Homo-oligomer: A and B are copies of this chain.
Amino acid sequence: MADLHPLKRQLGDRLITDREVMAAYAHDTSRVSPEGTPLALVRAERTEDVAAALSWAHTHGVPVSVRGAGTGLTGGANAYNGGLIVSLADMTDIIEIDRENRTATVQAGVITAELDAHARTVGLFFPPDPASARTCTVGGNIATNAGGLRCVAHGVTNDSIAALVVVLADGRVMRTGSRTRKNVVGYDLTSLFVGSEGTLGVVTEATVRLKPVPPGTPRTFRASFDTLEDAGRAVTAIVNGAAQPEVLELMDALSVEIIESFHPSGLTVPAGAMLVGQTVGLDAAAKAEAITATCRATGATDTEISESDSLLEARRLSNPALNARGLKISCDVGVPVAALADVFHGIAEISARHDKRVSTVAHAGDGNLHSTVESPDTPEGIAEADAVIDDITKLAISLGGTISGEHGIGSVKRHELPWQLDEAALDVQRAIKAALDPRGILTPGRAI
């Protein structure tokens, strides 16, 4: 077994080997179990701690798992048997907010919603907005190139990242990017590390781009539909319309039922699906009117506009509500937005063929769907649910889609990679991994 003493001398209390403490850091929010019992946990407080940890692991060939808040849904942060856990959850400094250049520089463990709240004190906001924003970390968002509710208007996490501090596999520290708006200086290493799920290096610090908070009062809108296909067609029409939403989410009937029974807020379960969204700016009310009119023209049976956030709050409860039923999201497919009606139609067919109830929530405006299969939490039940998700994933790919919109691959979706990527692309990914982590210590066997 590798000798921990040199690392202990460098890290002191920040190196932990207590089994009970480690257990809380050994898994993410997926239904995949850790791969065994970890050797030690590093609760890093600064970049140098991570550098010391990786340098030690590199020397000893010890596998490393990396985690922020552990809200991941793909097993990407799960511990390895005999491995080192590097936690960034204590790296919570907001180092700088640069108002005039609209950037913030933060440590990787800052909670996403806290960065956003800090930015708002100077009239700015942080666009990425995963449903778990109140518990997940900026570093975790970067590791999976996370999405969320505001992507339809502002893109994914990578669109908001200007520069990174990264600890490489051998412990060296590298800076990428620039806080300028444009930068073509060698390869775009920032984008390479964003979404690399801890397999190429550990991001310890990020300079992110902020945007000005739009003036006026946001409006939340709802439209209920008798069928999912109608709701899908409405989304395509909205996205191609003149009035653009800041948020455009979909919940099917079963999802609304699950959320409402977890935390009742007076939502009426629709016959087919419900779109909820938000508009911002001085013309927020006019845009909400235009969007709900589009919904009625494409078949909405009932629409509503309000100044309250409660509909979006309900949408954010989807994952906790599923977890309370013992269900875990494992589907994160994306399709081109014009294919939404087709993918919903196909999901209904798949659900019927497998005789399983499937609930779907979607970041509808960007064509990103999370379907969950009601199935017992037994090996057989999980295998049956996986078969449904595999069919939905193949359907999405047949429609020009993707196997993961925002959660990443982790260990859960690794078998799906060849469904989307050609052999040359898989080879190139393996070649990059081998070049940057030749001993294969960083999150081995996941993501690629």
Contacts and interface: CB of A to CB of B under 8 A. Distances in A.
A22 interface: no
A101 B366 CA distance: 10
Interface in A221-270: 236, 240, 242
Interface residues of A, number: 80
Contact of A405 (B182, B191, B417): B182
Nearest to A215: B242
Contacts of A159: 159
Contact of A188 (B99, B192, B366): B192
Interface string A132-159: 0000000000001101000110011011
A145 B188 contact: yes
B145 A181 contact: no
A168 to B, nearest CB: 6
A249 to B, nearest CB: 14
Interface in A17-52: none
A422 B175 contact: yes
Contacts of A335: 180
A305 interface: no
A172 B431 CA distance: 14
A192 B174 CA distance: 17
B400 A179 contact: yes
Interface string A390-410: 000000000011111111110
A425 interface: yes
Interface stretch (A55-63, A316-324, A371-379, A432-440): A432-440
Contacts of A185: 402-404, 409, 417, 420-421
A2 interface: no
A337 interface: yes
A186 interface: yes
Nearest to A236: B100
A184 B416 CA distance: 12
Contacts of A176: 425
Nearest to A241: B212
Contact of A429 (B98, B187, B336, B447): B187
Contacts of A183: 334, 402, 404-405
A385 interface: no
Contacts of A174: 422, 424-425, 428
A425 to B, nearest CB: 5
A218 interface: no
A409 B184 contact: yes
A426 B168 CA distance: 13
Contact of A448 (B178, B186, B363, B424): B186
A82 to B, nearest CB: 26
A358 interface: no
B368 A404 contact: no
Interface of A: 98-103, 144-145, 147, 151-152, 155-156, 158-159, 168, 172-176, 178-189, 191-192, 194-196, 200, 212, 215, 236, 240, 242, 334-338, 363, 366-368, 400-409, 417, 420-422, 424-429, 431-432, 434-436, 447-448
14 contacts: A156-B182, A179-B400, A180-B405, A181-B334, A181-B368, A183-B402, A184-B406, A184-B407, A185-B404, A187-B200, A187-B448, A188-B192, A188-B195, A432-B432
Shortest 10 CB-CB contacts between residues of A and residues of B: A191-B191, A100-B338, A174-B424, A182-B405, A181-B366, A180-B334, A435-B435, A431-B435, A101-B336, A183-B402
